[in-house]
């Protein structure tokens, strides 16, 4: 058995958390407040309320009438602008995505501050702050997409310039060479992935140290099945942004695509879900090759099951976290038996096995037995016909806690654990791969002043992989 423990990545990740700034997933809202004559209004109050959690974020305009709020988690908001001597403006339905930079300008009408006007017109979602090319995939879109295997690789390719590397396993085709993502022709290990503002480029490749790109910390934390639950499961994911070109210098680690993922948090409403997606060979037609050889259908069993549960943290008679403290839990389990097409291979026939020297017979007997006739060459070989099903398992667990202090400081913590394994066959040899992904992330975001924001992230990640073969 070959074993690779990626503990050497821990030092790299720990140092990165200390010496480099995190790439925040928060959104920013800014703009100018003026009166009907077009003159700027200073010291106007800006209140932004999250519709789902009730959390308030506030600021004031400066002497130039400009305001900026930079610590807004993605979600739907309501903005209220007020100033003594003017009517208050309320603008609901403001949807902010991960790393959005939205400009909202307001013109306050003269009147009593007790009066308010609700503005229903939607805000433009066009990026006017920089020239980056990016695509946001939100939760509503994901929930309505039929994703085979509940892995979001296909969603990544919805961005311009993103495509798959063909998934083929052969000599020198390991992690980083097949079944991954390329952006604008860059290598697979040129992309940068982050979850909740910390690096997810911690993928490991079972085998000898130095084999392929998987040991360098340049690939995402995929599962043994090559799926993205090692980064985040579909049910844990709130949304993500794919930035493929002309992005700012803050994305300086890798020259390829920048993929920023945000996980879900709880809200003031208790909500949950249960699911089980399944496939069974009883519902499927037989493989064409199995029909051609007159071989029965291969065994296929797929059960993808799990659930979510989230809401405010409430401890009866002790603590009520409504509008302040939230939790979100997610679990996904996969049990898969995947059939392969019937194939014919040459094996030693019974005559060769019996007439071979005693020292050679154990080697010949390690091959499969012939069951599909002689090859007609009288060379001691015959045919073996069989169809094999590959077994795989995966368990993905995630829990996240969020807490807000006042309207200028937010905390969160998340723990995720995704062990997985998969088996394949090369002739009569069974190859077994196991990969484990564990991570714990802590974050704090504070608005120090109107012009200053501090974003802190700390992450501990452990990836391990093992590989074994047996006849």
Write the pLDDT tens digit of every residue in 94-138: 989 888 888 899 999 988 766 777 777 555 556 666 667 788 888
If asked whether residues 301 and 380 sit together in one domain, one would say: no
Q: Of 360, 386, 412, which marks where a domain is finished?
A: 386
pLDDT tens-place string over residues 329-345 = 999 999 999 888 888 88
Is residue 289 within 8 A of residue 224, CB to CB? The reply is: no
Number of compact structural domains in the chain: 3
pLDDT at 212: 56
Count Cα neighbours of 461 within 13 Å in the Cβ-side half-sphere. 31
Higher pLDDT, 353 or 425: 353
Does residue 7 sit within a domain? Answer: yes
If asked whether residues 79 and 108 sit together in one domain, one would say: yes
Domain harbouring 220, CATH code: 2.170.130.10
Confidence of residue 40 (pLDDT cuts 50, 70, 90): very high
Report the range of poorest mean pLDDT among 261-270, 392-401, 444-453: 444-453
If asked whether residues 355 and 229 sit together in one domain, one would say: no
Residue 405 burial by Cβ neighbours in a 10 Å radius (0-12, 13-18, 19+): exposed
Report the range of poorest mean pLDDT among 159-168, 192-201, 352-361: 159-168
If asked whether residues 318 and 196 sit together in one domain, one would say: yes
If asked whether residues 175 and 200 sit together in one domain, one would say: yes
Q: How far is CA 174 from CA 165, 183, 214, in A?
A: 12, 19, 8
Is residue 45 within 8 A of residue 58, CB to CB? The reply is: yes
**CA-based end-to-end distance of the chain:** 13
If asked whether residues 265 and 239 sit together in one domain, one would say: yes
- Alpha-carbon Rg for the chain, nearest whole angstrom, is 28
Q: Of 118, 152, 185, which marks where a domain is finished?
A: 118
Q: The tokens 């905390």 sit on which residue? A: 411
Q: Supply the pTM of this predicted model.
A: 0.81
pLDDT at 332: 96
Q: Token digits for 54?
A: 């009730």
Does residue 183 sit within a domain? Answer: yes
Gap between the Cα atoms of 189 and 389, Å rounded: 31
Higher pLDDT, 126 or 413: 413
If asked whether residues 415 and 281 sit together in one domain, one would say: yes
pLDDT at 418: 95
Confidence of residue 433 (pLDDT cuts 50, 70, 90): confident
Gap between the Cα atoms of 225 and 457, Å rounded: 29
pLDDT at 211: 55
Report the range of poorest mean pLDDT among 154-168, 191-205, 282-296: 154-168
Q: Is residue 272 classed as helix, strand or coil in its secondary structure?
A: strand
Q: What is the mean pLDDT of residues 282-298?
A: 84
Report the range of poorest mean pLDDT among 19-28, 127-136, 308-317, 367-376: 19-28
If asked whether residues 170 and 317 sit together in one domain, one would say: yes
pLDDT at 429: 74
Gap between the Cα atoms of 461 and 446, Å rounded: 24
Confidence of residue 7 (pLDDT cuts 50, 70, 90): very low
pLDDT tens-place string over residues 42-59 = 999 999 999 999 998 988
pLDDT tens-place string over residues 173-222 = 444 444 578 888 888 888 889 999 898 888 766 654 555 555 567 788 88
Which helix (DSSP H) or strand (DSSP E) does residue 434 occupy? strand 429-447
Q: Of 90, 118, 146, which marks where a domain is finished?
A: 118
- State residue 400 phi and psi, 5-degree precision: -130, 140
If asked whether residues 373 and 289 sit together in one domain, one would say: no
Does residue 126 sit within a domain? Answer: no
Average pLDDT, the chain: 82
- Name the range with the highest mean pLDDT among 75-84, 286-295, 365-374: 75-84
Domain that holds residue 11: 2-23+132-340+389-470
> Measured on CA atoms in the order 133, 78, 273, 315, is the torsion positive or negative?
positive
Is residue 11 within 8 A of residue 62, CB to CB? The reply is: no
pLDDT at 11: 34
Does residue 274 sit within a domain? Answer: yes
If asked whether residues 58 and 154 sit together in one domain, one would say: no
pLDDT at 112: 77
If asked whether residues 244 and 273 sit together in one domain, one would say: yes
Q: Token digits for 350?
A: 């019974």
pLDDT at 221: 84
Is residue 412 within 8 A of residue 400, CB to CB? The reply is: yes
Does residue 107 sit within a domain? Answer: yes
If asked whether residues 420 and 280 sit together in one domain, one would say: yes
> Can you list the pairs that 451-460 forms with residues at least 24 positions away whose Cβ atoms lie under 8 Å?
451/68, 453/70, 453/71, 455/21, 455/22, 455/24, 455/26, 455/71, 455/197, 456/22, 457/17, 457/22, 457/196, 457/197, 457/198, 458/17, 459/13, 459/17, 459/198, 459/199, 460/10, 460/13, 460/14
pLDDT at 8: 37
Report the range of poorest mean pLDDT among 5-19, 104-118, 453-467: 5-19
pLDDT at 21: 42
- Name the range with the highest mean pLDDT among 294-298, 374-378, 415-419, 428-432: 415-419
Using the predicted structure, report yes or no on whether residue 25 has a pLDDT greater than 90.
no
Query: What percent of the chain shows pLDDT beyond 90?
Result: 31
Does residue 125 sit within a domain? Answer: no
Higher pLDDT, 270 or 374: 270
Give the residues across from 5 on adjacent strands.
Answer: 464
pLDDT at 376: 76
Does residue 127 sit within a domain? Answer: no
Closest C-alpha to 176, from 163, 189, 164: 189
Does residue 175 sit within a domain? Answer: yes
Using the predicted structure, report yes or no on whether residue 313 has a pLDDT greater than 90.
yes
pLDDT at 455: 87
């Amino acid at each position: 058995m070959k074993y690779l423990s990626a503990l050497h990545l821990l030092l790299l990740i720990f140092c990165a958390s200390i010496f480099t700034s995190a790439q925040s997933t928060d959104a920013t809202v800014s703009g100018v407040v003026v009166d009907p004559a077009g003159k700027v209004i200073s010291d106007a109050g800006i209140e932004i309320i999250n519709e789902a959690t009730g959390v308030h974020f506030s600021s004031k305009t400066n002497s130039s009438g400009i305001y900026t709020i930079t610590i807004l988690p993605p979600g739907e908001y309501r903005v209220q602008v007020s100033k003594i001597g003017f009517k208050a403006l309320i603008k609901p339905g403001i949807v902010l995505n991960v790393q959005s930079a939205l400009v909202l300008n307001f013109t306050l009408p003269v009147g009593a501050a007790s009066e308010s006007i609700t503005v229903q017109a939607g805000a433009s979602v066009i990026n006017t702050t920089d020239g980056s090319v990016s695509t946001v995939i939100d939760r509503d879109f994901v929930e309505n997409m039929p994703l085979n295997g509940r892995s979001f690789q296909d969603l990544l390719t919805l961005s311009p310039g993103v495509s798959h590397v063909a998934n083929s396993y052969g000599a020198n085709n390991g992690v980083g060479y097949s079944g991954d993502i390329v952006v604008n022709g860059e290598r697979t290990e040129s992309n940068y992935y982050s979850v909740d503002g910390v690096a997810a480029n911690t993928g490991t490749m079972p085998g000898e140290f130095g084999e392929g790109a998987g040991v360098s910390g340049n690939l995402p934390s995929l599962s043994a099945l090559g799926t993205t639950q090692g980064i985040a499961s579909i049910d844990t994911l709130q949304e993500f942004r794919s930035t493929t070109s002309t992005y700012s210098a803050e994305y300086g680690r890798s020259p390829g695509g920048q993929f920023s993922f945000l996980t879900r948090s709880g809200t003031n409403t208790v909500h949950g879900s249960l699911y089980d997606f399944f496939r069974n060979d009883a519902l499927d037609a037989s493989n064409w090759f199995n029909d051609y050889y007159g071989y029965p259908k291969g065994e296929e069993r797929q059960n993808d099951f799990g659930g979510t549960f989230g809401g405010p943290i409430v401890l009866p008679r002790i603590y009520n976290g409504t509008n302040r403290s939230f939790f979100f839990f997610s679990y996904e389990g996969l049990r898969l038996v995947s059939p392969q097409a019937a194939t014919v291979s040459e094996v030693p026939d019974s005559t060769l096995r019996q007439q071979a020297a005693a020292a050679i017979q154990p080697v010949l007997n390690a091959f499969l037995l012939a069951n599909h006739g002689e090859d007609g060459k009288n060379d001691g070989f015959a045919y073996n016909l069989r169809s094999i099903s590959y077994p795989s398992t995966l368990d993905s667990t995630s829990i996240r806690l969020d807490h807000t202090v006042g309207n200028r400081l937010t905390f969160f913590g998340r723990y995720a654990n995704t062990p997985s394994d998969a088996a394949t066959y090369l002739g009569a040899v069974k190859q077994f791969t196991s990969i484990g992904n564990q991570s714990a992330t802590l974050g704090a975001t504070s608005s120090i002043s109107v012009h200053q924001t501090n974003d802190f992230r700390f992450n501990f990640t452990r990836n391990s992989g093992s590989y074994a073969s047996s006849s």
